[in-house]
């Protein structure tokens, strides 16, 4: 049994929003992501899934609890050198292709910047590596010199994925990375992600609210609601046989062939959850 890619233990985080009452974003969360697997973190807004992702990657600090990456614990407070070190193991692909890339710079700079930060390659070697990465994500080398505005949403996300791969990490956190894309493009990107995972033995943490994406991509799933994990397990098991009322509610609300929204049913679930 190899070392898990990520072990999260007892993570807690509260936000005190501008004098209003405190918000518990994460309440004693513990999760394990096995090497080479894909964990989907499913929840709606306010579930804490984004906060979890940000803490794992280093954009936020937890109030208490630990995060272990490839067997090594990561420091609580993410200083610049800590982030630099962590970035070689874990990278992030964000949700919005529009704001993911600097609109004023050629897309190659996004990838080049990461190469410069983590490798000692010279300019020529970096350029070659950029070409390689672009080909791996299904882009053409000539697109290296495009501005983000000249590319489609799907292409921009491919650049974001290339950027994430540049540091040669073992884990990638995908924060709703296909949510902003057209449905037909989503499928292509998910397929690319699956291929990359297999080829490089990557581990994924996939944050999403979309259950059909989960089906296509994840081995394991945790369902989050108001800062807590309400259900976890193998994807097929959890989706096929949901036990917690909130998971059942999510499934009852997922548009699919033959589905109709039923107010009464939804209300019944909500009452069940509240009790």
Partner 1 sequence: MSRIKTLLGPIGIAAAALFIVVVLGALFAPLIAPYDPTIGSVTERYLGFSTAHLLGTDQAGRDIFSRLLFGARSALLGPVIVVTITAVFGTGLALISVWWGGLVDSFISRLLDLLFAFPNLLLAMLAIAVFGPSLTTAALALSIAYIPYTARVIRSMALRERNLPYIRSPQLQGISGVVITVRHLVPNIAPLIVTGATINFGFAMIELAALSFLGLGVQAPDADWGLMVADGQQSLLRGYPAESMFAGLLIVITVASLGYVGERLGGRAATGRKF
Partner 2 sequence: MLEIRDLCMTIAAERADLDILRNVSLAVAAGESVGLVGESGSGKSMTLRSILRIEPSNATVTGSITFAGTEVLSLDGEALRRMRSTDVSMIAQNPHAVLNPVLPVVNYLIEGMHDAQGMPKGAARLRAGELLEQVGIDGVDRVLGSYPHQLSGGMLQRVVIAGAIAGKPKLMLADEPTTALDVTTQAEVMAILDEFRRDLGMAMLYVTHDLDLAAAVCDRISVMKDGQIVETGVPEQLRDNPQHPYTRQLMDSRPAGIIPSVTAPSETDVNEGEPK
Rounded Cα gap, residues 153 and 181, in angstroms: 6
Q: Which CB atom, from 169 or from 227, has the smaller least distance to partner 2? A: 227
**Sheet of 171-175: strands edge to edge?**
90-93, 171-175, 203-208, 38-42, 220-225, 228-234
Binding interface with partner 1 (CB under 8 A): 57-59, 80-85, 87, 91-92, 94-96, 99-105, 110, 113-114, 117-118, 163, 167
Residue 241: other Cβ atoms inside 10 A? 9
In 3D space, the residue among 219, 263, 221 whose CA is nearest the CA of residue 244 turns out to be 221
Residue 82 interacts with, from partner 2, partner 1, none (CB under 5-8 Å by kind): partner 1
Rounded Cα gap, residues 132 and 271, in angstroms: 53
* Beta partners for residue 3, in sequence order: none
Residue 260 interacts with, from partner 1, partner 2, none (CB under 5-8 Å by kind): partner 2
Tell me 234's DSSP state. E
Residue 45 interacts with, from partner 2, partner 1, none (CB under 5-8 Å by kind): partner 2
Token pair for 14: 């509260």
Q: Which CB atom, from 145 or from 271, has the smaller least distance to partner 1? A: 145
Residue 268 interacts with, from partner 1, partner 2, none (CB under 5-8 Å by kind): partner 2
The distance of closest approach from Cβ of residue 9 to partner 2 in the complex, given in angstroms and rounded to an integer, is 11
Binding interface with partner 2 (CB under 8 A): 30, 44-45, 153, 182-184, 186-187, 209-212, 215-216, 228-232, 236, 239-240, 242-245, 248-263, 265-266, 268-269, 272
């Amino acid at each position: 049994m190899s070392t898990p890619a990520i072990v999260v233990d007892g993570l807690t985080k509260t936000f005190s929003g501008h004098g209003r009452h405190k918000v518990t974003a994460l309440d004693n969360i513990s999760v394990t992501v096995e090497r080479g697997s894909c964990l989907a973190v499913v929840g709606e807004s306010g579930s804490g899934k984004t906060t979890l992702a940000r803490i794992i990657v280093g954009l936020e600090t937890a109030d208490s609890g630990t995060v272990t990456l490839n067997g090594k614990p990561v420091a609580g407070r993410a200083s610049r050198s800590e982030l630099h070190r962590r970035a070689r193991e874990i990278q992030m692909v964000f949700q919005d292709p529009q704001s993911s890339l600097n609109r004023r710079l050629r897309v190659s700079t996004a990838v080049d910047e990461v190469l410069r930060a983590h490798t000692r390659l010279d300019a020529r070697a970096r350029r070659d590596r950029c070409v390689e990465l672009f080909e791996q994500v299904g882009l053409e080398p000539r697109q290296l010199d495009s501005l983000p505005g000249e590319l489609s949403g799907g292409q921009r996300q491919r650049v974001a994925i290339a950027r994430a791969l540049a540091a040669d990490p073992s884990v990638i956190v995908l924060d709703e990375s296909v949510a902003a894309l057209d449905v037909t493009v989503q499928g292509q990107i998910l397929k690319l992600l699956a291929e990359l995972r297999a080829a490089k033995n990557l581990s994924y943490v996939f944050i999403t609210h979309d259950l059909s994406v989960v089906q296509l991509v994840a081995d394991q799933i945790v369902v989050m609601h108001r800062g807590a994990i309400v259900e976890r397990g193998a994807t097929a098991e959890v989706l096929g046989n949901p036990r917690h009322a909130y998971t059942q509610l999510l499934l009852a609300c997922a548009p699919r062939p033959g589905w109709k929204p039923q107010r009464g049913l939804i209300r019944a679930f909500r009452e069940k959850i509240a009790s």
